[in-house]
Structure 1
């Protein structure tokens, strides 16, 4: 085969599969997963990351997990064999097909095992809608890519540092896939198929460049040192370290005293206020500065109707139970003050406030301000620990293993089966479709940090006014501008709005690296399987 014919075959093979996947997803109207299609022929390990996210979300038993895992590893190895062979530089003797097939099948299996923990973290990110998990899953991926480029090409690929060319080409592929994912996830119809196919052709060109760079490196540093096994070990530890640092929702640990607690409310505010802290917070019983403000207690009230001190472990309870305790506290505060009640919640506290409104749409609460709420959570699922099967059963046990290791160095244990997480997973149709949706008679505003743009697929995410602030999760409520807008809402009874120009582009750019949502209609564990699914419609608050 001539060099020109080989290049043409490489480009056709690399382009055909992304176009086919995009066509299938477009035909199914599966908008939330369109950003993944261009990755199917990407260079290692991005293509493996693509495969595993589908497998970890879409298996409903151990049998099917094993079949799917081995199946995608086999297909990935065979596809990589063909791509490497077609990308082989002219004038360089190519190994036999048998050698290439054996090596690429071995590397495909090894890559799947290595990357599986990071793919599991991306599924966790889809479950609790926390971008930190998504970022934690991508860092090892980018780090290992230059090392894995050599694996299916050269004999002693585990020795020496990858060349600067390999680093550059792998970073370029990440950038191309990110941009392509933002375009495909935002498009419709055959335009999506065309973009996916063109990106696949770009993947083919990058396979050509990376194979050449692996075979003909300008200079190999530490050529006799087995660097790659050390890199693998570091990469495997990264998700564990990240999970230990982040915690399960990064809701803000330690004593929580935003301005609404530490300062008196202006006289223009006629509401009583309950402030709800986030996951991992604790409360020592110290009252707020203003007597019309109370701190929500995850333990409830004492005999005199005062919020009880609580520990961080008390925030791990289900959202339903927290909402019931909030209902008791709302009624007690309303009786004591005679005022309408406003709820100011952060992170998990915001979710407790929203759950309360769902359970008690008619109540003394007429204003709810949600700071750093979880945006479209519940997009993934895994069954409880005692279940023998169910969608994501293997993923659940992989996450349990990750948490078990990180809990060895923690005082307060986090558990992917704790009631807070399970209450989101088990009621996913509501939290996915209804979290940021209006409630009649209640003024609602969501204060969103820009990092939440990476937490949900492109498309509508809110049916209530939003105020977007440059910040990380949990970092909005302490800012002066947020405190002033909080007071403005309480004093005037009018919503505030601010949409930042970078929010929508960041939302689209993250689409390529999110796990595909589990469709509401397929999971028998969800009671409301006929609920409108934003993964299909691209819209929230439908049918409410």
Structure 2
């Protein structure tokens, strides 16, 4: 057996070498944001497997490639973790033969991959539609499972009993360490890419120390609470319930008849506002057809206009249509309102409504719209992809079927269920080159402002400047538009004032969150995206607000 100091040196060296290699490769391909994931490649369970499964779910285009990649990752993960566990084993305790540790850790790698795959699929959904609650629903189970999976790699009866408070503490600290490591790696990558691999290697060495502490905490636990209770299966069930419950809570209330009635709808427009206004609500919204208090204000209808050219009532199912078809309905409503009032048009949109407005403005540069206020836009949609269900191949094939299975469970009994393949989602996926890089970009001839909740910081790419005025607010997605302060700022904007309010905490949240996103799918790889892809390196930040190439 090696002396303790040599074993520690070997542990730190191996834990550092793997992130160093991955970060070096990512630097060579100029992939800035993905470098934040590099420290996780040698992390303790389950963050190491979570790292692997996200890469696999994005970068496979057939069932054969997915199956082969899954088996290869399980084998490699088992070998690496067995080696790290062996080197982290306390010298005062007898250590099992390496073969026994290898068998145990390959089994743990296989089990963890199966457990983590649904959560990794939710991470894919978060990157596809740019909703942070998908990201939180995928990450929270990792924190819950971590101490239990770390015990499985070293103890004989991991199914029963609770982990020690010490092990739980180290597991939570590891989540913080990996987030800070991502911040450090990204910060150095943005400043000078040559240093990012070095920082990733240092973060990997810290992972080695975390392996040492978690292995010790699991092996040196003197008292096991609930020794005969099969806690592990219960915890897995609870972890799986987290994203499913979140999805159930996100389902619309089918009895709701009108989901958007801010003061701009219920009160007359101030005289200094020169526009006629169209209000566009978001996904799963509803409208009962009531007119606004001011004749110069209308709600956008996802089912169009009646014979008198007034917006029709609609229910939540109507919002599931494609962005292109919604933008055509918006075009008819904008033209009608413009002719009736003789005023330039301002669009005030929330969530999906923002994407409808942007699609409309992208395709109609000569429109009468002269102002756009965006509330809770989907700031970074289209980073990942999965093909439609009839496809036999395509990038993200397995991720799509995992998401369909999870959505099927959560929408049982719903009359208007959301699905991963509804036209709205498919239009986001198919139009990724535009929605990924142009949501918060200036549009010639249109005054713009974005009202961003603090949760948007977990979705936006760190280090990428926002090139339009913004108001950043401590709020959840979709919750800003009803606030009086937002109403006042919106009125100031519509009256011609320059409004720009930014939070200092926004940037740090962007950097801390980057570790937990799925890697983006390279635009040139996907045949669906190639006609709308501009030339150049696939991951360069210069694509943000760059030229738009239409198919």
Hey, what does 2:34 align to over in structure 1?
33
Distance 2:547 2:342 in 1: 35
**Once the two structures are superposed, what CA deviation does each residue of 1:4-29 show, in whole Å capped at 9, x if it has no partner?**
11111101000100111111111111
Are positions 1:75 and 2:76 aligned together? Answer: yes
Q: Aligned with 1:444: secondary structure?
A: strand
Determine whether 1:412 maps to 2:379: no
Deviation at 1:235? 1.1
Distance 1:281 1:152, change over 3 A: same
User: Structure 1-normalised TM-score?
Assistant: 0.97
Deviation per residue, 1:295-348 (Å, 9 max, x gap)? 000000000000000010000000110000000000000111111111000000
Structure 1 partner of 2:315: 311
Give 1:535 shift: 3.7
Shift of 1:409: 4.1
Is 255-264 or 330-339 further displaced after alignment?
A: 255-264
Residues 134-283 of structure 1 aligned to structure 2 (within 5 Å): 134-188=135-189, 189-247=193-251, 255-283=259-287
Residues 297-336 of structure 1: pairs in structure 2 closer than 5 A: 297-336=301-340
**SS at 1:150 equivalent:** helix
**Residue in structure 2 matching 1:507, options 485, 505, 510:** 510
Aligned residue in 1 for 2:14? 13
Instruction: Name the residue aligned to 2:461.
Output: 457
In structure 2, the partner of 1:542 is 546
1:406 Cα offset (Å): 0.6
- Choose the corresponding residue for 1:522, options 521, 525, 532: 525
What SS does the aligned partner of 1:141 have? Answer: helix
SS of corresponding position for 1:255: coil
CA distance in 1, matches of 2:258, 2:420: 21
Cα distance, 1:142–1:529 mapped onto 2, change above 3 Å: same
Change (3 A) 1:533 1:338: farther
Deviations 1:462-499 (A, max 9, x none): 3322221111110111111211111111112x431112
Task: Find the aligned partners of 2:237 and 2:258 in 1 and give their Cα distance.
Answer: 32
Which residue, out of 381, 384, 396, partners 1:380?
384
1:437, CA displacement in angstroms? 1.6
Give the Å deviation of 1:247.
4.7
CA distance in structure 2 between the aligned counterparts of 1:66 and 1:424, rounded to whole angstroms: 27
Match of 1:359 among 358, 363, 367: 363
The alignment partner of 1:35 has SS state of: helix
Distance in 2, matches of 1:219 and 1:297, equals 62
Closer/same/farther in 2, CA of residues 63 and 136 from structure 1, 3 Å limit: same
Say whether the 8 Å CA contact 2:522–2:538 is kept in structure 1. no
Please give the alpha-carbon distance, in whole angstroms, between the structure 2 residues aligned to 1:263 and 1:386.
Answer: 48
| Aligned mates of 1:366, 1:184 — CA distance in 2 | 41
Structure 1 residue runs of 4+, over 4 Å off?
531-534
In the alignment, structure 1 segments of 5+ residues that lack a partner are: none
Between the aligned partners of 2:465 and 2:61, the Cα distance in structure 1 is 28
Counterpart Cα distance in 1 of 2:547 and 2:417: 38
Secondary structure of 1:510's match? helix
Q: How far does residue 501 in structure 1 lie from its aligned partner after superposition? A: 0.5
Pick one of 372, 375, 378 that aligns with 1:371: 375
Pairing 1:400–2:404 present: yes
Residue correspondences, number: 540
- CA change 1:395–1:333 in 2 (3 A) is same
Structure 2 matches for 1:39-54, cutoff 5 A? 39-54=40-55
| Structure 1 residue 440 displacement after superposition | 1.3
Pick closer, same or farther for the CA change 1:397–1:254 going to 2, 3 Å. farther
Q: Which runs of 5+ in 2 are unaligned?
A: none
Query: In the alignment, is the contact (CA less than 8 A) between 2:257 and 2:315 conserved in 1?
Result: no
CA distance in structure 2 between the partners assigned to 1:185 and 1:537 by the alignment: 13
Cα separation, 1, equivalents of 2:276 and 2:261 = 17
**Structure 2: how far apart are the matches of 1:367 and 1:277?**
16
Contact kept? 1:118, 1:138, Cα under 8 Å: yes
The answer to whether the Cα contact below 8 Å between 1:44 and 1:145 also exists between their aligned partners in 2 is yes
Deviation at 1:219, TM superposition (A): 2.1
C-alpha contact (below 8 Å) 1:433/1:533 kept by paired residues: no
Cα gap change, 1:128 to 1:395, in 2 (>3 Å): same
